[in-house]
């Protein structure tokens, strides 16, 4: 399936990354010389996304100024300066600024490296594999051993058919949610107008057997604390050396 619309969740306060986020929004914190949000936006552009809604709250003026410099994808701002809407509320509000086409949803502070040149990217694979007849959401997932900066939590179990359930030891095959989803905009038509967590829709999809996972190719990075920056930049450096 071709997906040309996206929503990037970027409005959080980044409290665990203080004191850095006392003066700038977390998505603009540079990792190896590149703001975190640009890793995701560049990946969306490479995957053929034309329009991306980005929600803003914390230091919204800085976010607005930075995003104004981008031409691909086209950026549409969703203003949450008056009230933070949490992941679900932010997504539901942002989707109203797009059409009814399928969308890719990404977190602004999670990204990956190490995709193989000449092969389909993770987001291209995610878009192509999404089947709305069978799936409410197709979620990009990663093995714990292919992560840097993660807290060790195992989010889901992936079965042989690609379905996801909440992780329990007896279910086996643990995976981590990698912060990217393919879905139809209509899925959130019944969403409340106030703030809520997107996990509500994950659990609804699980109950119906319609939450699926696709494994990430490469290495996934999250930066939650100032100490995690060095670890992230070190692994990026290793991948760059290996590719040289």
75-111: per-residue pLDDT in tens? 999 999 988 898 898 999 999 999 899 999 999 989 9
Residue 21 CA to residue 38 CA, distance in Å, equals 17
Task: Give residue-wise pLDDT tens across range 135-175.
Answer: 999 999 999 999 998 877 888 999 999 999 999 877 778 99
Domain ranges of the chain: 5-243
Six token digits for residue 234: 């070190």
Residue 10 CA to residue 205 CA, distance in Å, equals 24
pLDDT of the residue at 34: 95
CATH class given for the domain over 5-243: alpha beta
Checking if the pLDDT of 117 tops 90, the result is no
Residue 219 CA to residue 114 CA, distance in Å, equals 6
Q: What is the DSSP string of 14-79?
A: -GGGTTGGGTS-GGG-EETTEEHHHHHHHHHHHTT--EEEEEE-TTHHHHHHHHTT--SSEEEEEE
């Amino acid at each position: 399936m071709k997906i040309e619309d996206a929503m990037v969740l970027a409005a959080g306060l980044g409290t665990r990354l203080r004191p850095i986020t006392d003066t700038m929004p977390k998505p603009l914190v540079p990792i190896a010389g590149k703001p975190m949000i640009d890793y995701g936006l560049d990946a969306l552009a490479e995957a053929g996304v034309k329009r991306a809604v980005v929600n803003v709250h914390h230091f919204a003026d800085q976010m607005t100024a930075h995003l104004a410099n981008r031409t691909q994808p086209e950026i549409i701002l969703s203003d949450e300066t008056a009230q933070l809407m949490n992941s679900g509320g932010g997504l539901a509000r942002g989707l109203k600024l797009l059409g009814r086409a399928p969308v890719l949803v990404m977190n602004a502070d999670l990204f990956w490296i190490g995709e193989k040149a000449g092969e389909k990217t993770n987001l291209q694979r995610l878009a192509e594999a999404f089947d709305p007849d069978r799936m409410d959401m197709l979620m990009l997932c990663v093995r714990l051993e292919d992560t840097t900066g993660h807290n060790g939590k195992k989010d889901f179990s992936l079965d042989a058919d690609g379905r996801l359930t909440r992780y329990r030891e007896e279910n086996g095959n643990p995976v981590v949610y990698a912060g990217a989803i393919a879905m139809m905009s209509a899925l959130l038509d019944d969403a409340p107008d106030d703030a809520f967590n997107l996990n509500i829709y994950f659990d609804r999809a699980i109950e119906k057997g319609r939450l699926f996972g696709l494994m990430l190719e490469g290495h996934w990075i999250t930066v939650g604390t100032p100490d995690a920056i060095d670890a992230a930049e070190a692994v990026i450096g290793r991948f760059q050396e290996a590719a040289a």
